[in-house]
Amino acid sequence: MAKAYSYDFRCNVVEALELDGRKKSEVAELCNMSRSTINLWLKLKTEMGDLHERPQNPSNPSRKLTDLDKLREFVRANGDKTQPQMAELWKEDLSARTISQGLRKIGFTRKKTYGYQERDEEKRRAFLMRLATLNPELIVYMDESGMDHRDNYGYGYCEEGERVGQQDRSNSGSVQHSNGL
């Protein structure tokens, strides 16, 4: 918002009009301002009796989340919801944007909730150890990509670096493709 003219300046402009009898257009040109501004000041003086600025009251007061621990517990319980849904569930009247700012403050991010559940970490570790012993020129790299036919892709919020609760993806109706180099 633009900075208002000083009170003294406004008084001097209105005084030049009322006491000196100058025209609005003349004073406006002299002060390098518009006539509409002078008209607003004259209207302000008749309505308020003075040329002080009107107090600026925001039409939509800012609602901030003050209890971040309460938000952290709330998101842990409702992490699968979208930000607008969380805003509706919150006990106070908050916007989705306020929820978004709170999530950023507490370090929570949005993530996919599903992952490959059949992965065996022990077999994976053994494979990586065996791979390290092979000649790099003999290694063939394969890439597997898939298409998921589900309409609901699970997303959720949790702390940065953490995983959201995963769902079992076996028999999910996905199509898999494998390619090798």
Q: Say which residue, 177 or 158, is predicted with more confidence.
A: 158
Q: What is the mean pLDDT of the segment spanning 92-113?
A: 88
Q: What is the pLDDT of residue 155?
A: 76
Q: Say which residue, 80 or 100, is predicted with more confidence.
A: 100
3-state secondary structure of 96: helix
- List the one residue out of 69, 10, 68 whose CA is nearest residue 41: 10
Query: Phi and psi at residue 146, in whole multiples of 5°?
Result: -140, 160
Kindly give, in sequence order, each residue whose CB lies less than 8 Å from that of residue 44, ignoring residues fewer than 6 positions away.
Answer: 50, 51, 54
Could you give the count of Cα atoms lying within 13 Å of 46 in the half-sphere of its Cβ?
A: 6
Would you place residue 86 in the very low, low, confident or very high pLDDT band (cuts 50, 70, 90)?
A: very high
Domain boundaries, the chain: 7-48, 64-170
Q: What is the pLDDT of residue 107?
A: 92
Average pLDDT for the chain:
80
Q: What is the pLDDT of residue 172?
A: 53
Structure tokens at 97: 């944007």
In this predicted structure, the answer to whether residue 168 has a pLDDT above a threshold of 60 is: no
Buried b (16+ CB within 10 A) or exposed e, 8-27: eebeebbebbeeeeeebeeb
Q: Say which residue, 165 or 81, is predicted with more confidence.
A: 81
Q: What is the pLDDT of residue 69?
A: 93
In this predicted structure, the answer to whether residue 71 has a pLDDT above a threshold of 80 is: yes
What is the C-alpha to C-alpha distance for residues 82 and 94, in angstroms, rounded to an integer? 14
Report pTM.
Answer: 0.43
